[in-house]
Chains A and B, each alone.
Chain A
Amino acid sequence: MTENTVTLHIDGTPYQMPEGMNLVDAARIYAGIEIPIFCYHPKMEPVGMCRMCLVDIGFEARDRATGEPVLNPDGTPQVRWGRKLETGCTTRVTAGMHIRTKTQAVTKARKDILEFLLSSHPLDCPICDKGGECPLQDLTMRHGPGTSRMAFDEKKRLGKHLPLGDLIVLDCERCIQCARCIRFQAEVVGDDVLAFHERARSLQIISISDPPFDTYFGGNTADVCPVGALTTVDFRFGARPWEMENIPSISPHGPVGENIALGVRLDRDSGGVKRVKRVLPRQNEEVNEIWISDKTRFGHHFTLSPDRLQTPLLRKRGELVEASWSDAIKAAAKAVKEAGNRVGIIAGPMMTNEDLYMLRGLAGHVGSRKLGVWPPNLGDPDPVAEVGIAAGSRLTALGKGDAVLVIASDLEEEAPIWFLQAKQAADRGAHLVVANMRTTKLDRYAGHVIAYDFNEGVDVLNGLTAAAISHRWTNRSALERVNGYDELTAALKGTRQPYKEAAEAMAKARNLVVFVGDDGLDPEGHTALLRAAANFLIITGHAGQLNNGLVPVWPGANTQGAFDLGFSSENTRAMLKNPPEVLILAGAPAAADPAYAALLDRVETVISLTMFHNAAAGADAPTTAVVLPIQSFAERDGTFTSAMRRVQRFYTAHGPAGQSLPAWEAVGLIGERLGMPRPPRSSALVMQALTEEVRLYSEMTYPALARVAEQFPPIGASPDFYGGATRSAAGGTGIAWPSRAEGRGKLTVKAVRAPEGVKPGPGELVISPVRRLYDRTPEFYTATLMHGRIPEPFAAVNTADASRLGIANGDSVVVHVAGAAVHVTAVVDSYAPEGVVLLPLYLSSEPMPLVPLAGTVEKITEPVPAD
């Protein structure tokens, strides 16, 4: 699209707008004139199927002989109007174009299209989930005929409840065949799971995948549907749209920090209290655009689940029994006081910045520096602070001439929105390089796929860096501010450079974004990989530029926030060697790893702050003395920091589960008993104190986080649901803190080598944990509608390894690793590299290590015991 500004006349009035934009968007955004649409969607290619956007288009006439404009007698240019109406969505703005949107022909065309659509549309508005936020309803009121010439009872009768997969239900009568859902799946996601079947009046949407509607983004089709043909099983008949309050919030699942709106309403079945009825995306072009993953959309059920811990628990005579808050706090404070500075804290992935700040304050008060992050397998995050993606970057800006590298991460499973955005960047012409030890779905869209052996990710990145150095693809002006370049050059001398083309494409790219995961990496490997990625970004001059930088694919919604506040994965690991006396588990399912389950037994007292009182949170450990119920993200105010370092605020949507308190308040009450000042009275005040103490967060006060950056294109829901049911950005779009590279200071490159890694002994294999989007953690498994989509516990074994071990696809096997025995089904294919078994985390309740270790796989003949 060129950025030339041209003049477009709409109904005789001239407007300035960029050339090449399509008429529907241009008229709406630059002239405030509505051209009604059904099939067009601002995030998808126009197809011109519904014919609702017909307008009268004309051009200024020019004399054929002279090329001079032909003028009317009054001196205005003569316009030659088209003989027929044309679709606005497929026409792009050009110089000298005139359009008319109010002529009789246009009005009649709109009326006729609506009459045609309504001739086979049922009168379902009173029971339809879309009723009240339905473009067909709105446009009929605005442009449609007042009466019908058709007899109502002669309408077609079609299936009204056809499940498309487990999550989406299709009503064939309501469908107006705009193909938005099909195009969303095919164009935006790349999961080609929906299709048209039959033709004409028999045309119907079907699912062509097995299992049906096999995608992580299916819920978005219900949002973009301009009628109520697609509804989600979760929300079906849950409430009318106007009855719900839409509370701005942030997804607690994963590192993306998807902006969402929680639709809450009072609910009789929940005892007359407010609860979340549905989750809708909230527009934020710098984060999730207008899409959310199904995990975020349907994984909200944990917030008021009956499985939640309702009251504090206290160990009395060997048993954990219900206790009052004051007794529990007293006991916790006593334990902390006795331990003095021998207190360790492990903070889980859903702890907010406020919680972490209070935990840090408590540790500081007793003189402890043992601030750990869960999970414990992460490396040193400093490269993110140095060359993390520049504040204000948009992945949507990446296109031709840009490059994206995804290394050691399966983005679809770990951060689905980034998968979608990386895929779309590749569609727009960006060069996508995917490097991993296993195949991932993103490989399909990659310009280069680098398949490396286990633990060789660092070598791959070093090879790319070496290639950039030896071919002088480095950026001279960027090198002036780099420390350690000569040492790096020396250290990389003689490094193999097998991926020269990929290195060239990335080094010469205008913009480069690097996603770094922790797939198959131990902490040292992860540290090295992050540093190696930073080296490449720095020497090629990408670091610090807008739309450039490093994106770590952290496992948690607020892992970045924990790092920013001085927590680290290294501290967690240090506790294994040097166990604290009192261990505070703050939302950390530490017992899910056998080494840490053993740690719980080695410390004297465990204080667990948790939403779910389960084995992973230390329920089975005899040392667990106090268990405090804490609130979920929907019950309180707070902030999460996404892996792109964007601090985003969420708001209280409904009341607490049982007697639970926000974690910061529970920690503050413990601190008060230890002689600390009274805890602040609201999380806004906690954040205020945090901004005064933490330099990175000095801007991040609640009022600042509530500011809304302008969104372009403006397609949040109201006023007429142009881009679907997506809500507008109200509530705040958050603030990202700038990386060091965005400043003027020196940057440092440092040669890194791949660590030793795992050396499996004879007969052993590497057991490498991988993250899956859908798992059986209580934060997700409480969404019962998703159970059918969660895979059974499995381990992916390479074909060669399997034949050597005599394992066939579908066999029950037991994986022995680090003293743990994990019972799974073997999936034998080339998905796993040879010598490596991929063991997805949290699919069963059996503890398993979070880092790759050597282990064995053994076939079992008797059936797997049910858990």
Chain B
Amino acid sequence: MNLIRGFVTTFKYLFREPVTYQYPEQERPFRERYKGRHALKRYDNGLEKCIGCALCAAACPADAIWVEAAENTDEVRYSPGERYAKTYEINMLRCIFCGYCEDACPTEAIVLEHEHRLSFTDRRDAIYTKADLLDPPSDGVPDTPQRVPPGSFDRSIPDMQNPL
């Protein structure tokens, strides 16, 4: 009797849709809140959102982030305001994908995106540089550094809504 009950279950599942994804040919959609590899975002005009404040590095519990800042000028401008990240590196072997960097960022420049394929054959490859992390500018928008009219980007922090 038990034997029959077992076969019934097996038989029932034969007609259900399988849950297996044929990765990598077929990819499973991610939840919106999934925390994958970081990306450094840009404004619509192509300027980098990151201002090199290193608050992400300060917030990082795994000490995975390394930032060095330098000064923008209107002739050579990477980001709004005076400061930009000259060096931005994340050691993905150290990163625990907690997302504190995202929370700490005053300009919403760093976002944990859905990229999850992080494999290396050398420890040094685990260090993602700014070039690896920065999103490419959208079509028709110039890359950084840009030459901008004097005085047009004097604020590092974008205008924000007062939450109250």
Instruction: Give the B-binding residues of A (Cβ under 8 A).
Output: 122-124, 126-127, 131, 147-148, 151-153, 157, 160-161, 236-240, 242-243, 266-269
Contact = CB atoms under 8 A, between A and B. Distances in A.
B118 interface: no
B83 to A, nearest CB: 4
B154 to A, nearest CB: 6
B51 A127 contact: yes
B78 to A, nearest CB: 12
A127 B159 contact: no
B64 to A, nearest CB: 14
Contact of B54 (A123, A124, A240): A240
Nearest to B157: A123
A237 B69 contact: yes
A151 B154 contact: no
Interface in B117-164: 154-157, 159-160, 162, 164
Nearest to B151: A157
13 contacts: A126-B51, A126-B106, A127-B53, A147-B164, A148-B162, A151-B162, A236-B71, A237-B52, A237-B69, A237-B70, A240-B53, A266-B66, A268-B87
A124 B68 contact: no
Interface string B80-92: 0111001100000
A242 B83 contact: no
B151 to A, nearest CB: 9
* Chain A CB within 10 Å, residue with most, of B82, B106, B157: B82
Interface in B57-72: 57-58, 66, 68-71
B160 A152 contact: yes
Nearest to B106: A126
B71 A126 contact: no
Interface in B93-124: 106-107
A161 B82 contact: yes
Given A127-B82, A152-B159, A239-B68, 12 more contacts: A126-B106, A126-B156, A127-B52, A127-B83, A151-B162, A157-B154, A160-B154, A236-B71, A237-B70, A237-B83, A266-B66, A268-B86
A153 B159 contact: yes
Nearest to B70: A237
Given A126-B106, A243-B54, A268 B68 contact: yes
A161 B57 CA distance: 26
B55 interface: yes
Given A123-B157, A124-B156, A147 B53 contact: no
B11 to A, nearest CB: 63
A126 B162 contact: no
Nearest to A148: B162
Nearest to A161: B82
A662 to B, nearest CB: 29
A775 B74 CA distance: 34
A122 B155 contact: yes
A114 B155 CA distance: 22
Interface residues of B, number: 27
Contacts of A160: 82, 154
Contact of B162 (A152, A161, A266): A152
A131 B52 CA distance: 13
Contact of A147 (B69, B106, B162): B162
Nearest to A132: B58
Interface of B: 51-55, 57-58, 66, 68-71, 81-83, 86-87, 106-107, 154-157, 159-160, 162, 164
Contacts of B86: 268
Contacts of A147: 162, 164
Nearest to B81: A127
Given A161-B82, A237-B52, A124 B69 contact: no
A268 B57 CA distance: 15
A266 B67 CA distance: 10
A248 B153 CA distance: 39
Contacts of A124: 81, 156-157
Contact of A240 (B58, B70, B154): B58
A269 B66 CA distance: 13
B76 to A, nearest CB: 14
Contacts of B55: 126
Contacts of A161: 82
A263 to B, nearest CB: 14
A233 to B, nearest CB: 10
A222 to B, nearest CB: 16
Contacts of B69: 127, 237-238
B164 A127 contact: no
A464 to B, nearest CB: 55
A526 B54 CA distance: 55
Contacts of B164: 147
Contacts of B87: 268
A127 B159 CA distance: 15
A288 B68 CA distance: 32
A805 to B, nearest CB: 48
Contacts of B51: 126-127
Nearest to B68: A268
Contacts of A268: 66, 68, 86-87
A447 B90 CA distance: 63
A26 B43 CA distance: 52
Contacts of B157: 123-124, 126
Contacts of A127: 51-53, 69, 81-83, 156
Nearest to B53: A126
A46 B157 CA distance: 35
A124 B156 CA distance: 7
A153 B157 CA distance: 11
B103 to A, nearest CB: 13
A124 B53 CA distance: 10
A420 B106 CA distance: 42
A124 B160 CA distance: 13
A269 B106 CA distance: 26
Nearest to A157: B154
Contacts of A236: 71
A122 B154 CA distance: 11
A161 B72 CA distance: 11
B32 to A, nearest CB: 27
Nearest to A122: B155
A124 B158 CA distance: 11
Nearest to A236: B71
A240 B154 CA distance: 21
A186 B54 CA distance: 36
A237 B52 CA distance: 9
Contacts of A266: 66
A267 B52 contact: no
Q: Which 7 A-B pairs have the closest CB atoms?
A: A126-B53, A127-B83, A237-B69, A153-B159, A126-B106, A268-B87, A127-B156
A239 B159 CA distance: 25
Nearest to A147: B164
The interface centre, meaning the residue of A126, A157, A236, A269 with most chain B CB atoms within 10 A of its CB, is: A126
Contact of B58 (A157, A242, A269): A242
A242 B12 CA distance: 63
Contacts of A123: 157
Nearest to B55: A126
B123 to A, nearest CB: 15
Contact of A237 (B58, B71, B159): B71
B97 to A, nearest CB: 23
A33 to B, nearest CB: 31
Nearest to A237: B69
A242 to B, nearest CB: 6
B126 to A, nearest CB: 16
A122 B107 CA distance: 15
A268 B129 CA distance: 12
A157 to B, nearest CB: 7
Contacts of B52: 127, 237
Contacts of B156: 124, 126-127
